[in-house]
Amino acid sequence: MISKEQIKNSLKRFHFYSGIQIEVLPASEREAFKKFGKKIILLRRKILFKQGSFPTGIFVLKSGKLKVYQTNSDGSIQVLFIYTVGDVFGYRPILSNDYQPASVAALEDCELLFIDRKNFINLIVKSISLSNQLLISLSREFTVLTNRITLFAQRGIKERFAIVLLILNEKYRSEKESISEITLSRTDLANFVGTSVESLSRMINVFKTKKLIKTEGKKIVIENIRELYLLSAID
């Protein structure tokens, strides 16, 4: 019998579970984050920045949820990640001197901390512990991304949907609960799984009749984590 602990551990290979943590930084860096940080409110459905734009700084998500997504030339959309409280993002294109590789929009009303590009660069060149955290975090994320590539290249939408549900379960879960209410729209969900809304809708039905999930209006609640995990066929 697989324990929930084991499942959670396996899932770590498929989502970002801990990026950089400001609390762990030395006091001076923490101060700098506070000092340079500007509070931003981003309302639900609003776009923070768009793919292809110039990265003006980095963000720390204080409350709410964000989606990161890419838009293709044919208009199709791929949701790549969901960011939740505590996530730090937007620093990668600054480091590699690129434009934004993806767009970010709010799934719920969000509160963010914004640190200006220049201040961030100043911070990073001075702070070994910050650059080390980034290095470690990026290395871990690299693994997550390669696993996702294999998942998308090799698995059908049933498996992909199963694992997306498990990932979202982690993202939408409060600290204590092991089960969460997933409130993503069908469209966002489909774009995360990499399928059409219609196919997703049918797959939801399949999962419902298998008693893996239940729905309350648009919300999805997981009923059987273990079966979902087995279905996802990740080892």
Give whole-number Cα distances, 126 to 4, 29, 56, 58, 132, in Å. 41, 9, 20, 17, 11
**DSSP string computed for 132-181:** HHHHHHHHHHHHHHHHHHHHHHH--HHHHHHHHHHHHHHHH--SS-S--E
Shortest Cβ distance from residue 52 to DNA (Å)? 23
The CB-of-130 to its own copies minimum distance in angstroms stands at: 10
Nearer to DNA among residue 88 and residue 166 (C-beta): 166
- What is the binding site for DNA (CB under 7 A)? 156-158, 185-187, 194-202, 204-205, 215, 217-218
Q: For its own copies, give the closer residue by CB, 216 or 235.
A: 235
User: Smaller CB distance to DNA: residue 199 or 224?
Assistant: 199
What angle (nearest 5°) sits at the alpha carbon of residue 65, between those of residues 64 and 71? 145
197 binds, among DNA, its own copies, none (CB under 5 to 8 A by kind): DNA
Which residues contact its own copies (rule: CB under 8 A)?
A: 13, 70, 72-74, 76, 78, 80, 91-93, 95-98, 101-102, 128, 131-132, 134-143, 145-150, 152-154, 194, 233-235
